[in-house]
Amino acid sequence: MQGVLFDLDGVITDTAKFHFKAWSRLAKEKLDVTLPASFESDLKGISRLDSMNRILKFAKLENKYSADEIDAMAQYKNKLYLNEISKLTQKDILPGIENLLDELAVNKIKLSVASASKNAPFILEKLGLKDQFDAIADPAKVAHGKPAPDIFIEAANKIHVAPGQCVGIEDAKAGVEAIKAAGAIAVGVGSSTDLSEADTVVASTGELTYSVLAQAFRK
């Protein structure tokens, strides 16, 4: 194991609630649609435009808006979301993550972020973690979002490590599929049965350690 590729939402911090709050407000204001709480999982781990298209499909409005109008709505959602995440602090780092980053650094493991979020640099800065990562993959530079492997391949390339020498950490089905498709070892976080394709699954971020990742890699 030479590198670890981190998803952001649900692994380093939990911003999913902020995402859904922003999507729900957009859907109500712009589409006059109320998103059910169960729809949150449908938007987990995918790009902004993919999320927008899923909402339009749910609302049976997929052919009503132009590409420019859809992009404008996605940008409005991002404005709402940025207002929420501007309140993030170090206290919002998920349990065990700071210790894990320290352990990986001691063992000279390269660290890269593979998130569908274009706001990853801003979020890491708010959390005080930006300097602990060697690279952050830019989702704007990859052709396809998760479950395609592109973002994890890009994250590995940015730390000059082959994906096969990396462990990826994810809390979403699409993310686990992306890690596996990239040729890396997948560690899933959470109790969801959707993580069944992961090589190793832990119940929470508090269980993530260098030893757990190294054992997953050796398996």
Contacts of 99 (CB under 8 A, 6+ apart): 209
- Between CA 128 and CA 151 the distance in angstroms is 23
Terminal-residue alpha carbon distance, the chain: 11
Q: Which residues carry out catalysis?
A: 7, 9
3-class secondary structure, 15: coil
Beta bridge partners of 186: 168
Q: Are strands 185-189 and 200-202 parallel, antiparallel or unpaired?
A: parallel
